[in-house]
Chains A and B, each alone.
Chain A
Amino acid sequence: MKTINNPIFHFFLAALTVVCLPLFLRSGVLASEILIFGLAVAACNLLLGFTGLLSFGQGIFFGVGSYVAGILLTRYQIPVPLMLLLSVVLGALIAVAVGWLSIRRQGVYFVMLTLAFSQFFFFLAYSFSGLTGGDNGILDVPRPVIAGFDFTNLWSYYWFVAVIFLAVFALMLRTTQSTFGRTLSAIRENEARASAVGFPVRAFKIAAFAISGAVTALAGALHAMLIGVAPLSSIEYHTSEIILIMTIIGGSGNLFASLLGAGTYMLLADVLSTIWPRWLLLLGVALIVVALFMQRGLWGLIETLVSHITATSKRTPNAATERPLHRQADGGKA
């Protein structure tokens, strides 16, 4: 169990996924979307799984990134690396503003505030149609050509996304394993105690929001370049909902679980939507099952399976010591 919860192992799994997706999927768009939403879900996970903040505002940051890409690339022809940097900065700044106001309340009021911000930003985008294209979105968002490397082809763009994904994933893993990350987990477990010990809880939460907003905006910008459009739907409440559902399906508190959740959702949606028009019903059933029986998501299921297999194969007294390790590994929530 120690092995599968090792961050290096998680990075190995993420890298393996990046390499394997082109081998198993015919669609370069779908493969790229899995990685892009993997980033957005990992950012959501940083808030939900590591800090204990259930945010319905992730769509704001995704939409902001999408619009930054749309506006800067179609109207100002700004180089893609600079555009990505600006989307990250703007995503972080807006996340700080949203976080700063939202974390003043806890529990359901916090959730309602993020929901209200989500609606607020949607209507901003909808109302300022001169800037955002309104309901039609911003069309003709180009894919990058950087230093002679042409990423306009779908699969070459996939590798462009893959490199960014792995770099950001590694940084996020490092963040969650750092003192900062451990402190976020402490806040999640017992905010009053963390505060009493002397941690500036509010500052930590805002910082978590900033990182989450930056990464989600980056994902939004990559997505706009992938599909060639920055649509209004990117900033809709529904985007926040999807990101949250992916996070819960994958399992919170573990970054590779985010990629697992994003991949599972996107693949299921892709397959089921061609089989049955009411496939969203199945998604509802899946969520109910996860909520009732798999509260640690798919990753939790994998952990349980590995735990059983290890215990069965060893059949030694040492197997009994696995449980405490397991409890420790996922924050004592098993």
Chain B
Amino acid sequence: MINRRRLLQSGAIAGASLLLPGLAGRAFSASEAITVGIPVPISGPFAANGKFASLGGILAAEEASREFGRQVKTLDLDTEGKPATAVRKVQDAFDNNGIKLYAGGILSSESLAMGKEALRRNGVFITTAGADEITGTDCNAATFRWSVPTYGAIEQTVRPLVDMLPDAKRWYTITPQYVFGDGLLNVAKDIFKEKGIEHVGNSYHSLTEKEFSGYLTNAIAARPDVLLILNFGSQSSDTLRQAVSFGLKNRMTILVAWASGLEQFEALGPDICEGVYFGAQYWHGVDTPGNQALVKSVRERFDLTPNYSLAGSYILTKLLVDAAVKAGSIDGDKVAAELRGKTYEGLTGEETIRAQDNQVIKDYYLLKGKAKKDMADKDDFAEIVSQGKSFLSPEDAGCKMG
């Protein structure tokens, strides 16, 4: 912060800022370091996710350093889970560190804002955040998204479960009342209609809700065959925990459509998760060469099993660095051009970055919680029941890249 104090700023800053684009615009030499900014919440309520995301970035950078024989490093930018702080950190990293590649943004609001900043300054931003708008109505040429949007999450969880449980004709939903929740709910309703499922009720709750017993009582009164939980993070954990303590697991099938992955299983424990269905963007048990290599590396390097935050950040960082090396530049437009349309062997198998909306086309998973006695190791909480790719077309998602 206090490095360059002395003279400058007032006048010199203007000159320096004029000079910077010229410096950053050139192709880098083979010995030049590549730095990837990791803007994630390292403090605040989402700090745990940020910590793992940081490790994922570090691992990808270390591997890239070895593979390409050049220094690749990451710089953690603590967004504190706030869009304002996230944008400030990214602006500073552009100006003070010359960073143009960013992999992170766990929360949708901060990711949307950072994506816009990347576009303004000819950078690239790639994220695992959930909001459909990222590769939908607010898509832009500089923003890429690895995670599956709401449409695919419901298509790959509700539809297979409907097929698996042909007698389960009555479904009840619990939904957070905002754009993300409504996105999930609307897709689920379409499937209900198509499959002749009776949607026996829905409870909306606010984004700050912590107590779900009232909604669960309503669900019990509606006597559904399946309870579909459409909230996420700590809210879905709280809903599920309270549902199990109310005895709902014995009365109906429970599906948490947007689970956080291993972190959530660890927080809930096998007693709660047993027999419950979960939708997940990533699972460490996925049997692909890319994932097996990652699990091995993470266990050797950090002595832990990769969760979604770590794996997501790993693949985002890897994609950016690979593209920058291939482009021979860290300029946003050049790196983005390398990323667009790319097909590669990813963590979930073959993944493709769709050129029209910068959305990665990858699998989404339906998991089923295992009983404690069936767990092969401390992280073997669930089995993969089904997996697949479901995406709206860029036009239907509302993306107009321009």
Contact = CB atoms under 8 A, between A and B. Distances in A.
Q: Give the interface residue-count category, chain B.
A: 35 or more
A146 interface: no
A233 B88 contact: no
Given A129-B178, A135-B207, A228 B96 contact: no
Q: Give the interface residue-count category, chain A.
A: 35 or more
Contacts of A228: 87, 113, 116-117, 120
A136 B42 CA distance: 20
Interface in B44-95: 44, 47, 50-51, 76, 78, 80, 82-84, 87-88, 91-92, 95
Interface in B316-350: none
B133 A30 contact: no
Contact of B80 (A19, A28, A140, A273): A273
A180 B120 CA distance: 46
A129 B179 contact: yes
Given A26-B4, A135-B180, A277-B51, A155 B13 contact: yes
A153 interface: yes
A229 B87 contact: yes
B367 interface: no
A266 B9 CA distance: 20
Interface in B165-220: 178-180, 206-207
B216 to A, nearest CB: 23
Interface in A116-137: 123, 126, 129, 134-137
B268 to A, nearest CB: 23
Interface of B: 1-10, 13-14, 17, 42-44, 47, 50-51, 76, 78, 80, 82-84, 87-88, 91-92, 95-96, 108-109, 112-113, 116-117, 120, 131, 133, 138, 178-180, 206-207
25 contacts: A23-B7, A23-B8, A24-B5, A26-B3, A26-B4, A27-B92, A30-B92, A126-B206, A136-B108, A136-B131, A136-B133, A139-B112, A155-B17, A227-B83, A227-B84, A228-B116, A229-B83, A229-B84, A229-B112, A231-B113, A233-B83, A234-B84, A273-B43, A278-B43, A278-B47
Given A134-B179, A135-B131, 15 more contacts: A25-B1, A27-B92, A29-B92, A30-B92, A33-B88, A129-B178, A129-B179, A134-B178, A139-B112, A139-B138, A228-B116, A229-B83, A231-B83, A273-B42, A273-B80
